[in-house]
Chain A
Amino acid sequence: MGIDSLVGGTIWDEYSQKVTDLMNNPQNMGEITEEQAKEMGAQLIVADFGAESCGDAVRLYWAVDPDTDKILSSKFKSFGCGTAIASSDTMAELCKDKKVDEAVKITNIDVELAMRDTPDVPSVPPQKMHCSVMAYDVIKKAAALYKGVDMESFEEEVIICECARVTLDTLKEVIRLNDLTTVEQITDYTKAGGFCKSCIKPGGHEEKDIYLVDLLDDYEKEKLASKASLGNDTSSDINFEDMTIVQRIKAVDAVIDKHIRQMLIRDGGDMEILDIKENGEHIDIYIRYLGACSGCESSSTGTLYAIDNTLQEKLSKKIRVLPI
């Protein structure tokens, strides 16, 4: 709890200026007609996602050059709140001049990041994240249409949350990409579980084959398994100094996960590894503090010594930790 939760506040206060501006004046709002696409010598793709009954719907228009697969023009129409409109607008912007295969790689995270005023302040409150997920989904749908993926194969996807029509694949991906651990987070990101709640766990008014809690369990097990295998790697006598850069990052991350991260999170902070570089006889690990840790006095004293000592003890005496 604490004062911020007690005082509360309106979600609008947490919108970035960019979100506000895009809501007031969306840049890529509009339509592309068959005629307009023809004039560009392009193929028109119209993809829909969401539904008014769920509170959010978006229609994406692409004019794609059939020779180069390049998206020549990208427009949207959206039924939704301010963040839905701003996310759709940003999504349409990000698609422009990209090849379809590149556009598919745009995630909801990219959309959210693009709407930030400053790199480390989220552009929307957590409960509004689902708006950017929808922007992500509609791109995938447009790409599927363009590539001529059979619509029936689309229908065959397993839908976990019927109300918000969220598929198993989307859920698995969103959980993994954002490292989600609670049903509430899943609801914030995807809307799944936010309506009739049947899909959260057994006992709702509708029986399901797979519930959100099952997906969280699976992800948790997956994480443990990958850590265990990583643990084997590090103990399999590869010296830290002999590791590749990827192995080093994994090894450092595993030690931090096991010994450091919980302590930081308890105080409302976190950290990330930016780079690992050889520097003469040292191995320098560059880190960045996140959340409450950034700006905390102890982050350059006590906390730093703790991270330094732990990594030296577990991995290599050559390690130096340098916060940026």
Chain B
Amino acid sequence: MRKFFTALAAVAVIGLIAGAASAEIKKVRIGTEGAYPPFNYIDENGKLRGFDVEIAQALCDAMKAECEFVVQDWDGIIPGLLAKKYDAIIASMSITEERKKKVDFTDKYYNTPAKFVQRKGAGHKIILEDGVDTVADVSKVHLNKEGLKGKTIAVQRATIHENFLRDTLGDVVTIRAYATQDEANMDLVSGRVDLVLADSVALDDGFLKTEAGKDFEFVGPGFTDRKWFGDGAGIAVRKDDTELREALNKALKQILADGTYKKINDKYFDFDVYGG
């Protein structure tokens, strides 16, 4: 019955708080997705976990503020911020020009490339050039439009990966946009789609290294083109919220300097996700 009453009590949370300009930030409400392992996910005890969540916690500790997490599906995560459902998004959101029109970002807190995944031995070819490891400028290489024609590619809805696909291959491939990355992966496993495009680390740790992903592999180079993939993952805040942005940037510098960041990094990854 406990849950029942918490649910009822939650009704009382219609806040009507006059926005007083306080110098100190006491409480930060953080929006995250909870469906993007290993960055943020809900474990079997119903608790939020992951790299993003621990970074958020560390930032709040550094700011001496109280953290409250709000779970929000990805495609509504920016509208939710604008509607003041929370004050910051810490959910592996890439800093892009398109998003900057609506929200402000802190400095990046990690940066990893995007990659495609296919069934082992499916033999898809993403770009015509051989031996390319990362593509920082898509206009310098040739996407294999001929070979990918008619293929179905899964992405998560409202992501940089969806935008990239629609803009570069949208005319030749069928794009299936899912609410969560897990659903996109699930449909790759069941054979409904030929390829998945997403963040390489999320795909590696959240899918390829799991039981379900054992028959799948990366294909093609990593994509880092700034036009779509931006400058890495940052924390989004509302445009007028300079105070919070600066406090978060300060806290970010602090945890990078005092080793907290590295500790969290090493807990989740065997390489440096902060990136160059």
Chains A and B form a bound pair: no
**Residues in chain A within 8 A of chain B (CB atoms):** none
